[in-house]
Amino acid sequence: MPSSINLLIIGDIIGKAGRRALTSHLASIIDEHNIDFVVGNGENLANGFGTTEATAHEMFDLGVHVLTNGNHCWDQRDFMKVIDEDDRLIRPCNFTEHAPGRGWTLQETASGHGVAVINVIGQVFMSGTWSCPFTAVDHCLQEIPKDVSAIVVDFHAEVTSEKIGMGWHLDGRASVVYGTHTHIPTCDEIIRPKGTAYQSDIGMTGSYQSIIGMKVEGALKKMITRMPSRFECVDRGASIFATIVQINPATRMAKNIKRIHIPPSS
């Protein structure tokens, strides 16, 4: 058994641009950094809005182990059935009891280490009526077997203070707590005193010549006119922003956290 698990965390993957960038680079990132386990956020995989079975499988075929989700989870109606049947797909654990699918999953690295991944959604400045994310995460931790080698938490939320609070809430109990949803990376990666790695947002894998992955014209028109406007994904020129966390499987705590950036192909 290796003495550490190298986890690659990818944030929101935006449409075709994000999928194309990972198709070009994910295998070499995995090789170069000796990655054991890959988690990505799939809420924008299908042209920016939700996840389809085909786009999820495209990511699994590239080497992604688990896809988390977020407020766009049900944008593609067929996904309700897909998420129910595939335990590599999770949605926020604090959705209502009527939501299909699951809020956490347990998968294995190639060398047999159990990695639990929890997805949870924030309450501040998020449309929707989710239950308390802090209580929901505590329930997940009670359910997760005690002998897993790593616990990974994707907190899909808008506000950095709520995310930072979750990082402290889970310090010493999760291997890593990180944010998704804002589509913009933060440079605050740190290991908390009890050993939990933390970053407020991983940032999107998508085009940064955009407004959080969407074509500027439609998004800006909506801001200026306050009238409905068509949102379209930018479909090429994606940057990959991702974070690598090295975890000690004996303690489940983090040894190192570092950000990586692969700029768009010229």
Length of the chain measured in residues: 266
CA nearest to 119, candidates 83, 152, 81: 152
Contact positions with Fe ion (CB under 5 A) in 181-210:
181
Closest to Fe ion by CB, 12 or 189:
12
Residues 132-171 as x/- pattern, contact with Fe ion by CB under 5 A: ----------------------------------------
Q: Is 91 in the site for Fe ion (CB under 5 A)?
A: no
In the complex, minimum distance from the CB of residue 70 to Fe ion, in angstroms, rounded to a whole number: 4
In the complex, minimum distance from the CB of residue 210 to Fe ion, in angstroms, rounded to a whole number: 12
Q: Of 55, 69, 71, 94, which lies in the binding site for Fe ion, with binding defined by CB under 5 A?
A: 71
Q: Which of 5-13, 90-98, 137-145, 245-253 is the region at the interface with Fe ion (rule: CB under 5 A)? A: 5-13
Cα–Cα distance for residue pair 90/99, rounded to 1 Å: 11
In the complex, minimum distance from the CB of residue 211 to Fe ion, in angstroms, rounded to a whole number: 12
In the complex, minimum distance from the CB of residue 44 to Fe ion, in angstroms, rounded to a whole number: 5
DSSP 75: S
Cα–Cα distance for residue pair 71/95, rounded to 1 Å: 10
Cβ atoms of residues 68 and 42 within 8 Å = yes
User: Which of 72, 113, 181, 183 is an active site residue?
Assistant: 72
Q: Binders of Fe ion: how many residues, by CB under 5 A?
A: 6
Encode burial over 140-160: b for 16+ CB neighbours within 10 A, e otherwise.
Answer: bbeebeeebbbbbbbbbbbbe
Q: Is 119 in the site for Fe ion (CB under 5 A)?
A: no
Closest to Fe ion by CB, 44 or 51:
44
Tokens of 175: 């291997």
Q: Of 4, 44, 52, 200, which lies in the binding site for Fe ion, with binding defined by CB under 5 A?
A: 44
CA nearest to 262, candidates 20, 70, 59, 4: 20
Closest to Fe ion by CB, 5 or 89:
89
Tokens of 147: 């002998």
Four-point Cα dihedral 42, 94, 90, 198, nearest 10:
70
Tokens of 44: 């924008």
Task: Please enumerate in sequence order all residues whose Cβ is within 8 A of that of 138, keeping only pairs 6 or more positions apart, or say none.
Answer: none
Q: Which of 120-128, 174-182, 187-195, 249-257 is the region at the interface with Fe ion (rule: CB under 5 A)? A: 174-182
Q: E-assigned strands of the chain? A: 5-12, 37-41, 66-68, 104-108, 114-121, 150-156, 176-180, 190-191, 197-199, 206-207, 238-247, 254-262
Q: Which of 11-19, 61-69, 106-114, 164-172 is the region at the interface with Fe ion (rule: CB under 5 A)? A: 11-19
Task: Tell me if residue 65 is catalytic.
Answer: no
In the complex, minimum distance from the CB of residue 101 to Fe ion, in angstroms, rounded to a whole number: 16
In the complex, minimum distance from the CB of residue 123 to Fe ion, in angstroms, rounded to a whole number: 13
Enumerate binding residues for Fe ion (CB under 5 A).
12, 43-44, 70-71, 181
Active site residues: 72
